[in-house]
Structure 1
Amino acid sequence: MPARLPSWAWVSGLTVGAIAAVSVLAVQADQGPHPTAVATKPKPSASADAHPTPKETAPAPVPEGSGTGRRVVYSVGKDRVWLVDASDATRRSFKVWPGTVDPDPGKYSVGTRRQDATTGSDGVRIEQIMYFTQEDGVWVAFSNAVDGSSPPPPVDGIKTGGIRLPKADGDALWEFGTSGTTVTVVS
């Protein structure tokens, strides 16, 4: 009469066999074709109607007097941001929606960065927040809405320091503006 294997041996053997089969399938899947993402346009929110997406008409030159070297330049008067590399070449420029509190012209540095979503002072879910100064008791920071919408119209008497960006520009700024990056604010 043959010896009988204990149940733990059967379970261990089946587990090893299953792991081996999954490993083989994973290797085969990694070598096969990969799906590509299809860009879909998010549905506009109610706030999108109040503030249409800023439109580009022509690339704007970096303001004179904004310094040299790698930096983020923010023009309060033009509601525009430039991402400038170390060779003083503009890598990207885009329009933004300012908060109700403008930072004073000057040089600052990106301080705290928060990628996780939170609720902004205007009640909108925001992400990729990059704080760079405090003005009139209000933190001033770049951010974008999680859903890509524009901010709602300002409420009288409420101070907001969020400089809101379209989603794609928020992604670009997040990659460019690491902690310590210079932010030059001009009029």
Structure 2
Amino acid sequence: MPVPARRLPSWVWVTGLTTGAIAAVVFLTAQAEQGPHPTASAANRPSASASTGAQPSASPKPSATPKAAEVPGSSGTGRRIVYSLGQHRVWLVDADDTARRTFTVWPGTVAPAVGSFTVSLRKDATTGSDGVAIEHIVYFSATSGVNIAFSNAVDGSSPPPAAAGTQTGGIRMAKADGTALWAFGETGTRVRVVE
């Protein structure tokens, strides 16, 4: 007498397919993390150095000058996060006043006041006022009823242009910079905003 073929229960198939899909997503995510990432640069801002007689150069100029990497002298001392409104740059400064990391950012439409603040709240993830999924949200100030916080887009993208009249307090950065600021900026960490 022939033995009937055994069928696998449907949950086995669903589990196998789900596991395979998750493995594929993890693999593709790892590959994407090794690829190029968008960065904030001076090229996104208007340049005052352009003139009518300027000739295009054969090679692009670096987006940051050597002075851009120096921690501003007016930023105080000790372990702190420094944010320059004019340079659109953040420094993570150790207790010995050495910059551990510096990077450019995309500011929101509402700027924090110049002064000293502390990290008051941290959120793992949420949706920004522009509808973008963000993570590593580090709040430190409020201006005109708008919360000011550092964050990065989950997908690492730069923020879309704000709609006319929209008030946004998010200071966005590249994903790797957001991860570094999140690790550095615990609740109570000092934040110094300079011109």
User: Which amino acid in the other structure matches residue 83 of structure 2?
Assistant: Y
Report whether the alignment pairs 1:114 with 2:123. yes
Matching of residues 1-187 of structure 1 within 5 Å: 39-41=33-35, 53-55=39-41, 57=64, 58=66, 60-115=69-124, 117-187=125-195
Distance 1:41 1:138 in 2: 35
Q: CA deviation at 1:154?
A: 1.4
Query: Structure 1, residues 50-101: CA drift from partner, whole Å, max 9, x if none?
Result: xx62245346101111000000000011100000000000000000000000
List runs of 5+ in structure 2 lacking aligned partners.
Answer: 1-29, 42-62
Provide the TM-score with structure 1 as the length reference: 0.72
List runs of 5+ in structure 1 lacking aligned partners.
Answer: 1-36, 45-51
Distance 2:137 2:144 in 1: 19
Q: What's the C-alpha RMSD, in Å, of the aligned pairs?
A: 1.6
Provide the TM-score with structure 2 as the length reference: 0.69
Q: CA deviation at 1:40?
A: 2.8
Query: Structure 1, residues 10-57: CA drift from partner, whole Å, max 9, x if none?
Result: xxxxxxxxxxxxxxxxxxxxxxxxxxx664327x8xxxxxxx622453
Rg larger for: 1
Query: Structure 1, residues 78-136: CA drift from partner, whole Å, max 9, x if none?
Result: 10000000000000000000000000100000011001x21101111001100001001
Percent identity over the alignment is 61
DSSP 3-state at the match of 1:83: strand
Distance 1:71 1:126 in 2: 23
